[in-house]
Amino acid sequence: MSKTVDLAAHPLTVWQGPLGLPDFSRIGDDDFGPVFDAALAAHRAEIDAIAGNSEAPTIENTLAALELAGEALDHVSSIFWCRAGAHTNDTIQAMERDISPKMSRHFSAISMNEELFARIDDLYQRRDSLKLDPETLRVLEKTWKGFVRSGAKLDAEGKKRLAAINEELSSLGTRFGQNVLADERDWALFLDEADLAGLPDFLKSAMAEAAEMRGQKGRYAVTLSRSIYEPFSTFSERRDLRETAFRAFIMRGQNGGTTDNTDVVRDMLKLRAEKAKLLGYGSFAALKLDDTMAKTPKAVHDLLDPVWEKALEKAAADQKELERLATEAGSNEKFAAWDWRFYQEKLRAEKFAFDEAELKPYLQLERVIDACFDVATKLFGITFEEKKGVTVWHPDARAFVVKNADGSERGLFLADYFARPSKRSGAWMSALRSGYKLGNGATPVIYNIMNFAKPPAGEAALLSVDEAKTLFHEFGHALHGMLTDVTWPSVSGTSVSRDFVELPSQLYEHWLTVPAVLEKHALHVKTGKPMPKALLDKMLAARTFGAGFATVEFTASALIDMAYHARPDAPAEPLRYEAETLEKLHMPDTIAMRHRTPHFGHVFAGDGYSAGYYSYMWSEVLDADAFSAFEETGDAFNPELAERLRKNIYAAGGSKDPEELYTAFRGKMPSPEAMMVKRGLV
């Protein structure tokens, strides 16, 4: 029998910790189950009250009541999913396997509640006579469409089947993510001093720390965290070890046994195809793209296909150069995928007379964080003040109070930067709470999660250029959450179409390489001196270096995602289909997809980017054009443009159509040309 929970007093639902955060010191792993059950029951009761209201439907008693219902569930959920991604354990993972299908069942029941939909439908049919402001009208239309896309108009049998599909997909997505985490956590290549030829000091430090975390003090570990795997592949002179690491990296989720994702992917694709058919769509991609800027798989291919052709040409030309270097270095082996990063770094040194290891001492994590904050202050007038000693989900996580220019509090920003075995790989932004004005309103509590290699105690964490860009990228998402200025919770912050959500993050990356930002913040870890102008110039000149490799790696993943989901059925053997599709695309065997199917978390660890991985590139078309607006003025911090950017992109959330928002900022929609130029493909 589950214990009675007082939702009005529990630390998971009533946040009375420092800064108005949850009191993490009073939250135990075993608390989540009973609180979830109580919060789900409370939300059900609220929904039943809205659906069963005898008064005629109004915006207040139906739409607003629906938006504000379930606060206790929102609170416990946001803490739980943060823990599940950033600091998990066996108890949390078991809970995740239990709660994922429960939540799916719960929300399926809401979206298929006939009385509730009748009230929403009543408002929707009368929308033109209700004299609604544009944001409220948009929320009403999105809510109605959401119900329909979730099966509100299906017959009883169809509703039952759709609910079962959603529940099963939810369980499979959880399993997929946990399998990848297990493969990443359980694999390490332990090395000794004699195996480290070519490795720079920053990497040796990170590998020593990783080995110590795994109980092998005095040795060095190659792990499958990108922050170690990629620099190891770039610098290690041991071709045999590079091959070992490469094979382990691309086989995550496909190693046989209990953590193998082959069947998980097959079942997910089958269920997604069935779901699309049930809802009247020709494919799962058609269903997912219906609510995006792209709208159709054809529009996605119109973007990806020309980029793919250009990227293949560029990669082929680059490979010839790399093979030349390998031959000059005395290699008789056939050039392989585990050679690419290694010789690309040598080519960079030859062409631009510097290497990645030269830049790293200038990119201290703390300085790059300061740069992120500094740019936000210059553009948007907000400031960040760290509060030390605040307990959050892990001792490494940090808390910052965000203030407006007038000193009033805007919200909180939490950040957790270092890799550890209890954290899933990658980098992401999410919210413990979104910001909105409806009802009593709420201020945003936004967090960023990274996976940088943790340095030994007393040493500064140093980042690669790509890692520094990742920090800026995720902070751009965080700003989208923190600067939100909308009434309705469902259109707050990053609640925008998938192919628009990457615009604020990718655009923010551009400010990392603004010379004034680097001159102030790229200071040498030992001397404190700024990056020499000659090195800065070389770095900026080399910005599009390696574009062939990077674009093939990314676009292959986007094309495979689309290939799986744009067909009306599902392939019987997805991994064979992956190989056949890549062959048709003439994928070079010397480059691996950035995310192969068995560990493609964006697409299979949940529903987030399924049929949507292309959206990074779609947004890149927008971000290249948007930043050129600043370049055209000659001022990367042009105040008038910054204000238009804040108002129409960072603060507007999903309150208007994305095309309308972008056009209000820029005056027009862009063509893909700017993105191709930015990538160095034309």
Catalytic residues: 474
Residue 41 near residue 73 (C-beta atoms within 8 A): no
Q: Are strands 409-418 and 398-403 parallel, antiparallel or unpaired?
A: antiparallel
The span from the CA of 35 to the CA of 558, in Å, is 39
Q: How many CB atoms neighbour CB 447 within 10 A? A: 25
Q: Are strands 445-452 and 409-418 parallel, antiparallel or unpaired?
A: parallel
Can you say how many angstroms the Cα of residue 441 is from the centroid of all Cα atoms in its chain?
A: 26
First CA to last CA across the chain, in angstroms?
66
The span from the CA of 585 to the CA of 591, in Å, is 13
Contacts of 571-575 spanning 24+ positions with Cβ under 8 A: 571/266, 571/269, 572/266, 573/266, 574/262, 574/265, 574/266, 574/269, 575/254, 575/262, 575/265
Structure token pair of residue 28: 């135990």
Residue 254 near residue 261 (C-beta atoms within 8 A): yes
Which residue, 603, 628, 412, is CA-closest to 498?
603
The span from the CA of 290 to the CA of 512, in Å, is 34
Query: In sequence order, which ranges of 513-635 are alpha helices (DSSP H)?
Result: 515-521, 533-541, 547-565, 574-584, 601-604, 615-633
Burial of 182 from C-beta contacts in 10 A (0-12 / 13-18 / 19+): middle
Query: In sequence order, which ranges of 353-447 are alpha helices (DSSP H)?
Result: 356-359, 365-380
Rg (CA), the chain: 25
Residue 394 near residue 87 (C-beta atoms within 8 A): yes
The span from the CA of 101 to the CA of 99, in Å, is 6
Collapsed DSSP state (helix, strand, coil) of residue 543: coil
Which residue, 664, 660, 667, is CA-closest to 496?
660
Collapsed DSSP state (helix, strand, coil) of residue 666: helix
The span from the CA of 414 to the CA of 437, in Å, is 22
